[in-house]
Structure 1
Amino acid sequence: MRQRAGAAPGLVWLGGFKSDMQGSKAQALDAWAGEHGRACTRFDYSGHGESSGAFRDGTIGRWLDESLAVFTSQCEGPQILIGSSMGGWMALLLARALRQCEDSRASLAGMVLIAPAADFTEALMWQRFPKDVKKQIEETGEWQRPSAYGDGPYPITRALIEEGRNHLLLDGLIQTGCPVRILQGVQDPDVPWQHAQALVTRLAHDDVVMTLIKDGDHRLSRPQDIARMLQAVADIA
């Protein structure tokens, strides 16, 4: 974990699937926090980056528990969640979990979601997988998914898919209780912009703004994309 002391509202980075806290967006966020005197918290889920554990043992519920533990034990006062891809789903799940948490010293001031992959294990993986891939996962427990980002194939496990069904959000209204800003690339091959649009229709809070970036990809890590992320954070802060 990396934590920077500073004023509220603080910033909490929630990374994506197979991403880590040393990525360009996370580091830019930390640098912005330093320049503006804001608190900033970054961490890696188990099986990611500098954290222990095997990636194949991870599930949405396990990573959510880790996120909740960091938020409630390490953060204090109002916080802005910045969630990228799977981290967007984590941010929404964390908001729901916090409504049932009575001992948190921290609260939500807002969210910035970057290509939010809500329900991705079901909507963007399982429902899209061909029959032979589904069969392999069901019979052997995992499938080695090729990576488009040059880091080799990685396991998609039956546990990830099945446990993920306990955390689906897009079948009902989502109450965050805070402003939400969404940045979504139209050229994103992993999280289609229509998926982000469907999420907007489920957000019950009035203060929700989605920005479509016509030439944006999934990572949204170009300088102009990072500038948009930081501006969204600044607007809420």
Structure 2
Amino acid sequence: MNNCSDWDWSAIDFTSDTYNAQLTDQQRKMWENPVQTSSTSNAFEISSPYLDNAYPFTRELYQSGNDYLICQDNQLSKIAHRDLRCPVRFLHGDEDDVIPYTKIYDAADALQSKHSGTDIAIKLIKGGDHRLSNADDISSLLDTLNEFL
């Protein structure tokens, strides 16, 4: 089994979803036609109840995120052209108010179609929120990690 430590994913398709949901038409035009833009048009801020300060979402973050899209048919995605030979585990809270838990089913289906035979499992954590930070959530996360140790 290959070590998959170089697969660095955050939320599934976070960059593309954020881009599509957050950018205004004017920002999108500036990003898609980068003609000597000022630094203020090169980023926009993402706010969240889970962040103390707004997070800068840059063009570079968006472009690098395209390498790891799972649920979208993107010819540039490294995932589509890579041999996945490690187990994949999705853990998600059913009360996540930021990312719908249905996203993990889409991701699992997309990975399975691209990497047939891959060991993919989903664990939907009852009562789990976006952070999965209470004691039971952390226990579930640790149990999943222990499967591989």
TM-score normalised according to structure 2 size: 0.69
Percent of residue pairs identical = 30
Per the TM alignment, residue 212 of structure 1 is displaced from its structure 2 partner at its CA by 0.7
- Cα contact 2:86–2:118 (8 A) shared by 1: no
Residue ranges of structure 1 left out of the alignment (5+ in a row) = 1-77, 82-86, 92-115
How many angstroms apart in 1 are the aligned matches of 2:82 and 2:97?
Answer: 25
- Cα contact 2:42–2:58 (8 A) shared by 1: yes
In structure 2, the partner of 1:142 is 43
In structure 2, the partner of 1:220 is 132
How many angstroms apart in 1 are the aligned matches of 2:88 and 2:51?
Answer: 32
In structure 1, the partner of 2:34 is none
Aligned length: 130
- Cα contact 1:133–1:143 (8 A) shared by 2: no
Name the aligned partner's letter for residue 129 of structure 1. Answer: Q
In structure 2, the partner of 1:121 is 15
Shift in alpha-carbon separation, 1:160–1:137, aligned structure 2, 3 A: farther
Name the aligned partner's letter for residue 90 of structure 1. Answer: D
Indicate yes or no: 2:126 matched with 1:211.
no
How many angstroms apart in 2 are the aligned matches of 1:127 and 1:232?
Answer: 32
Shift in alpha-carbon separation, 1:159–1:212, aligned structure 2, 3 A: same
1:25-174 paired onto structure 2 within 5 Å: 90=8, 117-122=11-16, 124-131=17-24, 134-135=27-28, 138=31, 140-170=41-71, 171=73, 172=80
Q: Describe the superposition over 1:129-173 as per-residue Cα deviations: whole angstroms up to 9, x where unpaired.
A: 252573496361111222312411121112222343244333348
Determine which structure has greater relative contact order: mean sequence separation of CA pairs < 8 Å that are 6+ residues apart, divided by chain length: 2
More strand by share: 1
Residue ranges of structure 2 left out of the alignment (5+ in a row) = 32-36, 74-79
Shift in alpha-carbon separation, 1:179–1:222, aligned structure 2, 3 A: same
Runs of 4+ residues over 4 Å off in structure 1: 78-81, 172-175
Shift in alpha-carbon separation, 1:174–1:236, aligned structure 2, 3 A: same
How many angstroms apart in 1 are the aligned matches of 2:83 and 2:96?
Answer: 26
Shift in alpha-carbon separation, 1:168–1:215, aligned structure 2, 3 A: same
Q: Secondary structure of the equivalent of 1:148? A: coil
Candidates 180, 185, 210, aligned match of 2:88: 180
How many angstroms apart in 2 are the aligned matches of 1:167 and 1:80?
Answer: 13
